[in-house]
Structure 1
């Protein structure tokens, strides 16, 4: 049974949470400090545990972020990307953000067994391998790796890493038309924490994608996205039979397309 005291505590928690959310929306800017737990305790006449619960909820939602030893501050807004087959830059600009990329490494490397299987090649097949840090409005968003068979586009990296790998493939008559993606949640590695400048959260969203042109695999890619800066918008429809199997028999018509995951 829920006691009157429990209900009262819940209402006070919601009041504190609503007050802080409204403060962020109407008065504070990104990086501004929110009132201290002590001042909120005095203002609402509640315990520190109740105040902390309200703050924790907003931290989890990405509205606030804690800096150890300094306090709690307004967090930068999350980038809300829709699951579509677009480039990272296209989707960022569509959301009013300025996309950026820093090449961490690029070159040709032999395909490992998992990569080879993903692009329907033999292990050891030469692959273009590109690792990039992707940013939105200057904020680190993700670390991405992409593998493209050299035999598909031998000159792909001749002039440096293209701004858009999809656009570079299209320019060579290799049009990405559909794909499949797996999304999982995980703790960031020490390298990811450093590269993505993560200070208040360890959560990342990992994606693994195969991109196809017709029935031919064009690219295999993996990415790790900051859990505190990134969310995915997924349009939902009524349940239907799966349209795209993992592989298509030779000579069969290409089945219907499916939405893709995080943009490249």
Structure 2
């Protein structure tokens, strides 16, 4: 660690040292570090600025509360990723990230041919006990983990799918190898706290807020996929255009007496 300089000295005075340190760390996080970069350790900060670890934790905690920094258990404190605005149209993660100027990366965590849960069997039009393709992947952008996908695919629509390079865009693989272009999907969005396994994969604390998307997609009116994706709540947001119903005046409905 470099020797402390005069610029690193916190002053005694009306402004508490944790507030002074908070602004220094804000400057470092916004001007010197890229999103997703690690902040110096608490020990290094105590030595550099000549303050207690309690002061360091107070300063960091305030920036975490603001959303500028994130703590990752066992790894340290990192600058927050900018939120990605989820686009509610039928496109792949790979295509979506590239359209934003981000480099997508996919790690295959597991795959198998198994009987799916009853709700998925129903969604895919499979008989009870009939197997489907199961696939779990970790999706990253510019090296940062953003989402965990756990999906089921109809084996009749894409026989041999699990033998292909599953680090590629699945939608591109479906088009290239099977001539399948997904035309319609029903997507449901909900919020969940991260379980221990998903939290570890995404580099967040267990219980951290996640956006969960369930997408059931079809091609030529036949079901192809039933996929659930868990997105980091600190990195994603959803924006939706809204319109009044056709023929509506745009005014709120009148109250009807019971």
Q: With structure 1 as the length reference, what TM-score do the two structures score? A: 0.67
Deviation of 1:78 after TM superposition, in Å, equals 3.3
2:195–2:206 CA contact under 8 A, matched in 1 = no
Q: Which residue of 2 aligns with 1:217?
A: 223
**2:152 aligned with 1:147, yes or no?**
yes
Alignment-derived partner of residue 183 in structure 1:
189
Residues in 1 aligned to 2:195 and 2:220: alpha-carbon distance in whole angstroms: 35
Secondary structure of 2:160's aligned partner: coil
CA distance in 2: counterparts of 1:71 and 1:189, whole angstroms = 20
Aligned length: 218
Name 2:198's counterpart in structure 1.
192
CA RMSD of aligned residues (A): 3.7
Bigger shift: 23-32 or 207-216? 23-32
Q: Deviations over 1:70-110 (max 9, x none)?
A: 98653233333322211111111111111111111112112
The question of whether the paired residues in 2 share the 8 Å contact of 1:31 and 1:75 is answered with: no
How far apart, CA to CA, are the structure 1 residues paired with 2:244 and 2:223? 27
Q: In structure 2, which of residues 99, 102, 106 is the aligned counterpart of residue 97 of structure 1?
A: 102
Tell me if structure 1 keeps the 8 A contact 2:211–2:231: yes
- Consecutive unaligned residues of structure 2, counting only runs of 5 or more, are 1-20, 46-57, 247-258
Instruction: Give the CA deviation at 1:238.
Output: 1.3
Query: Distance between the aligned counterparts of 2:62 and 2:33, measured in 1?
Result: 17
Alignment match, 1:117: 122
**CA 1:156 to 1:183, structure 2 compared with 1: closer, same or farther past 3 Å?**
same
Kept in 1: contact 2:150–2:227 (CA 8 A): yes
Counterpart residue number, 2:38: 31
1:206 equivalent to 2:220? Answer no
Within the candidate set 239, 246, 252, 1:234 is matched to 239
Distance 1:34 1:122 in 2: 54
Quick one: structure 1 residues 195 and 25, their matched pair in 2 at CA, closer, same or farther if it must change by over 3 Å? closer
The structure with the larger Rg is 2
TM-score normalised per structure 2 = 0.68
